[in-house]
Structure 1
């Protein structure tokens, strides 16, 4: 049986394509919870699969929290390196429609700890072209 973090790239891409129009045009209605959750969980778990480890925790409430990036593992309390954001912002990062540094600077992404920024090297996960 496959583990929770094993993802099918075709399924992740399909889930992201299902919310693409909303990502590219925020005035469109928000996708359904199941559709949005599939895209968020798929991309976050793909990140964890590509950058395995336990040094950085990526949180996209209420959908998913994953640990990634090789290095020291935390065992109690809050992890020392945390990236947290909302579903839309995460998907913009995961698709290359938003730059990680710009997102942190604007405050739409909370990145705490010295290693949190390392996830930028693993983004985007599913590349979407920028809208015209």
Structure 2
């Protein structure tokens, strides 16, 4: 991740996204981007490593979880989802197993199950 997001800014963006969702409104793109990146940053801090790439396009991606380091081409362990799904599983609003079963998470590789490190409890 490029620039570290301040905890106050990250929580404020996350609160703004949650408020918009609760009001059944679309969150501001800047709030959504900051909230996604903040939660990816927290995941990186909780489960540092290089064996799984977590992608939330178009907002960000991190490599996490201890294991073999990936250096070229497509990583062997990839998790990808949209921003709303990422925020839901990262904050515990929805369970990893439920959204994975529903097909809202695209995961490949033997280490691509993040249920042991989620939710983050920001």
TM-score, structure 2 normalization: 0.90
Distance 2:6 2:36 in 1: 14
The 2-side partners of 1:59 and 1:49 are apart by 16
- Whether the 8 Å contact between 2:78 and 2:107 is mirrored in structure 1 is yes
Structural RMSD (CA): 1.8
Q: What secondary structure does 1:122 align onto?
A: coil
- 1:9-46 Cα shifts (integer Å, max 9, x gaps): 34322221111134446xx1211110100000100111
1:123 and 2:114 are equivalent in the alignment: no
Structure 1 residues not aligned, in runs of 5+? 128-132
Gaps of 5+ in 2: none
**How big is each residue's C-alpha offset from its partner over 1:76-124, in whole Å with a ceiling of 9 and x where there is no partner?**
110011110000000001110111111111100011100010x222211
Determine the C-alpha separation between the residues in 2 that align with 1:66 and 1:5: 12
Matches within 5 A, 1:45-56: 45-56=41-52
Distance 2:98 2:47 in 1: 22
8 Å contact from structure 2 (residues 96, 115) kept in 1: yes
TM-score by length of 1: 0.83
5 Å matches for 1:72-83? Answer: 72-83=68-79
**Partner in structure 1 of residue 11 of structure 2:** 13
Q: Pick from 48, 53, 60: which aligns with 2:56? A: 60
The answer to whether the 8 A contact 2:53-2:78 is kept is yes
